[in-house]
A and B are shown apart, each in its own frame.
Chain A
Amino acid sequence: MAVDYSALKKGGFMRQKQKDVFSMRLKVVGGNITAGQLETISNISRKYGGGHVHLTSRQGVEIPFIKLADIDAVKAELEAGGAAVGVCGPRVRTVTACQGAEICPSGCIDTYPLAAAISERYFGKELPHKFKFGITGCRNNCLKAEENDLGVKGGLTVEWKKDNCILCGVCVKVCRESALSIADELINLDESTCNFCGRCVKSCPTDAWRGEPGYILSCGGTFGNQIAYGLEVLPIIRGGDSFFRAADAAIDFFAKYAKPGERFRPAIDRAGWDVFRNAMEEALDA
């Protein structure tokens, strides 16, 4: 029987150097795996694999040394145990995320629900080449947003509430961009230097800063053979609706302009960043 390696790869089975064994990639969303899924993974690794797993650089889990003959049994056991096989090849890959505002004191956005929504909408979608989403909850950038084809970074648009302020001076000091100053019992915010880090909001003892969560997108990051940081082409955007309009536009642009086998970055470079920016802006205005 001829082995259809590309179908196996698409379904997350990566051919190993050793003959007829595969490293099986699992579907992981936002780096979260339940205890139950871990048990399933552990059992499968013991029963069918080499008794270990590999943690990939993008929060993925692979179980190496799965035999070709066991693939169907492994798939069935995975599914019964609440886990799913991942994908590889030219399509939307694992959506990665840091722990975000639900867990991390510095978080500006809830990363996990966003990762789940992105994964739900795009995971496995066929494209000219691989496409990676990564979500980081704040400027600390633990998840390295700019390494992704579409990186999302949480930020807060801040507004001072005079009535709550006791003029303690903490926010002025913690702002690393020197965007804040105190004069005549008023706090002045220089919007041109504010980078939405949210430190003023988080450190104010009297909640005198209101912070509105938003998404800062970086586009065209790639960290493989070619290395380039993703670039911001839009101002900070708010709300899931706008986010998905922008993400749809980015993916449509990729599908339209990239040659087969070409990554998002060179496709934007070739089509022109102005053309790309226009497409993104139009999608948001629509």
Chain B
Amino acid sequence: MIELQALTKRYGERVAVDRLSFRAERGEVVVLLGTSGCGKTTTLKMVNRLIEPSDGLVRIDGVDVRTLPGHELRRHVGYVFQGVGLFPHMTVFENISVTPTLLGWSAERIRRRVDELLDLVELDPAVLRDRWPNELSGGQQQRVGVARALAAEPKVMLLDEPFGALDPLTREQLQQSFARIRTQLGVTAIFVTHDLVEALFLGDRIVVMRDGCLVQVGTPRELMVNPVDEFVERMFGTPKRQAQLLNDLLGSGEHS
């Protein structure tokens, strides 16, 4: 369980994240949704203290994250970076085994775990285990990124627009893989995206952000049906409008 209480980040005068509070229950994926620059990455990084909050509190399974040294905390929180962030001088195997190695796992256990994870993210261990990151496609790299975040059996996962840089078809494949993995493992996660369809597909609940503030929290259905304001209504109306547009286009094509 991840719990944010009045989490705030100020850069001088500017407030990047403003008294944000929400929680992700055990086994729940909460999507942080908002336009670029609204404070999603900052929020996520405060959870594992890559950024220290100006104010407020984060608890993971009831424990205040400030009670652990930063690096200890991060070894138990899987993080998938916006962009890729695989280490270019390490093979796929080495990238995935970084955190287990830091935790002092035995070589045998690490070897088994890496193969298991590669299977989980649908990559063939025999073929890809010893490849270098630059020998992988964008989709394969992002799958390895997910495997690396899961490697040390983290309590919770943080994903920052993990599929944002991929082409639509590959993105869809990865979304489906992630949906399967999260049910299979019962992952507790905060998943950041600016893509509404991705949010609707992957989120148990969605937190809508604007200018560092929380606008509305709810299940996809609640947000569709009961938007609190025009901003949310317009945002969630987008797919409907697009479907309408598509329909019109196809319809007019039939008549001509």
A and B: bona fide binding partners: no
A residues near B (Cβ < 8 Å) are none
B residues with a Cβ closer than 8 A to A are: none
